[in-house]
Amino acid sequence: MTDTTQSPAAPSGGQQAWLTQEAYDRLKAELDHLSGPARQEIVQRIEAAREEGDLKENGGYHAAKEEQGKQEGRIRQLTQLLRDATVGAAPADDGVVEPGMVVVAEVNGTERRFLFGSREVAEGTDLDVYSPTSPLGGAINGRSAGDETSYTAPNGKTIAVKVVSAEPFSG
């Protein structure tokens, strides 16, 4: 089947990631640490730096505040990811591209193998990851082996894609 249109419409609702139970547990432990002991540690460092006096020229204070901002961003990111995640068994081995599948695709004539889904799942592997919201991910989401499509790259070029295979990620 050849289709040169953009990808099928995404499902309504929030962006849902597929996570293995191991990835979910690892991310939950990170969230618990960041929102508990790590958050307290940053607050203590900010307080200690405040006690040193003039905040305009206090490098320790500014570094701690910057770190606190990054940490709070990661807490928000993890909270949303874990709240919206589908956890458990990999998707069915039906050859359809969906989150949790290892995809082989020919992109502009070059074969690529990657995980379609969330980079948190692929941690510790050598797989590249494409999310369903990326231009390539949006073009192949819901497609099957043998399907051809294309997408417009951020630079405006049309990129041809052929799905070669899609198999469940086994971790």
Mean pLDDT of 52-64: 82
| Sign of the alpha-carbon torsion through 136, 134, 21, 98 | negative
Tell me if the pTM is above 0.85: no
Lowest mean pLDDT across 6-15, 17-26, 34-43: 6-15
The mean pLDDT of 100-109, rounded to a whole number, is: 93
Query: Domains along the chain?
Result: 21-86 (1.10.287.180), 89-168 (3.10.50.30)
More confident residue, 154 or 87: 154
Burial tier of 116 (Cβ tally within 10 Å: 0-12, 13-18, 19+): buried
* Residue 109 tokens, joined: 């004539």
* pLDDT value at residue 11: 35
Cβ distance 127 to 111 under 8 Å?
A: no
- pLDDT over 90 percentage in the chain: 47
Distance CA 161, CA 108 (A): 6
